[in-house]
Amino acid sequence: MSKEKNSTCSFCSRDKEQTGELIASPTGSFICRDCVEICSEILFPQQSMADVAEGEEQAQAQKIPFNLLAPKEIKHVLDDYVIGQDYAKRTLSVAVYNHYKRVQNNLFHPEGAHDLEMEKSNVLLLGPSGCGKTLLAKTLAKVLDVPFTIFDATTVTEAGYVGEDVENIILRLIQAADGDIEKAQYGIIYVDEIDKKAKKGENMSITRDVSGEGVQQSLLKIIEGTHCNVPPKGGRKHPNQDYIQIDTRNILFICAGAFVGLEDVIRGRLGRRVIGFADQGNGVKSDAEIEEIMREVEPGDLVKYGLIPELIGRLPVISTLNPLKEEDLVHILTNVKNSIIKQYQYILMSDGIKLSFSDEALKEMAHQAIDKGTGARGLRSILEKSMLELMFELPSRTDVEEVIISKEFVSEGTEPEYILKKAKSKKSS
């Protein structure tokens, strides 16, 4: 100790009182901290503190198993695939960003390194069939580059009854991740038809509601976040079975349903039969009226509808989607990426045939989808049915340059308009 006290730095000759702690070598010489830093800069001039920080940041970024974008960027991508639903896209973009930002912070900071703990931003989507709920969730998974799976809540029952266990939801996500457990733990699970799991009523019954409230109860833990034991081959659990263990704390759950009749529950709470619209006296509610009512939804309305409060508490982000109008459906047919019409045009173009649709034909398909109440989902079946015979014949014809689809072709099944290669004259065939 006395030797160190009276020693000086072998490089700068300053003593301990001037430099602070001295680092001793096995040979009895000493060096101060300032000289160590100077030596480091001489030996590694390119390795500045900024470079070190940047290198650490890049190393951390490589650990992130997803592609996180800002909310505006997420919505911009959603706009390419989903028409309308601006409010829902904004809500989802913020919720997804907050969720994966939370996951990112947890990856960078070990547990206990910070006092603030952010809750999961699971989402509940309310909207009629064919309005874009599933497509929104699927596109989000594509943007983030994470595994994605869709699960129909109507197939799930309580453990011990005929049907699927809730653990099979997690198994499907693992399968979507090609068996990569680590990657699956940051995926998105879309639970469809969650409204079909609403309690059958507020009155007590002598029979168990094995596919309703019981399923909601069994969903609570995996949605909130838990270590889940999943049978590797699916099916029911049994003793002495090997399990896959997966942490669901970072899995984003998006639950969705049509919630038919929920607007009446909201209307009853507000104490008004009509909000902002004249009562026509025929009991028929317009789409605009339903849209305005659904924007007023509150957790209490969902409880009255039949969802248990514990489940609603684990779905803090609630967003509504509106029924699609005719112009929206026409836009979906023509302008979105991967539209069904573009797919047909691509197929026929590979055979050297141009495919065109009149404006009236597009409107007719949209009108039929609205009449059937199928929304955008029904457009494919309408077009597939209309194009069946045409697609059967056209690949065998070498004289056709262009086919023009008319309204009558869609509505009545009449022949389309052909433009032939040689004569370039219009005639029906």
Q: Output the known binding site.
A: 9, 12, 32, 35, 128-135
Sequence-ordered strand ranges (E) for 273-375: 317-320, 354-357
Beta strands in 309-381 (DSSP E): 317-320, 354-357
- Rounded Cα distance between 305 and 99, Å, is 27
CA distances from 388 to 259, 264, 335, 363, 429 (A): 34, 42, 23, 19, 16
CB count within 10 Å of CB 106 equals 16
Helix H segments across 28-165?
A: 33-43, 49-63, 71-81, 86-108, 133-144
Binding residues for ATP: 128-135
User: Tokens standing for 20?
Assistant: 């602070």
C-alpha–C-alpha distance, residues 153 and 241, integer Å = 25
Distance (Å, rounded) from C-alpha 208 to C-alpha 316?
Answer: 28
The whole-angstrom separation of Cα 337 and Cα 142 is: 13
Give the separation between CA 246 and CA 177, rounded to whole angstroms: 13
CA 44 to chain CA mean position, Å: 46
Detail the residues annotated as belonging to a binding site for Zn(2+): 9, 12, 32, 35
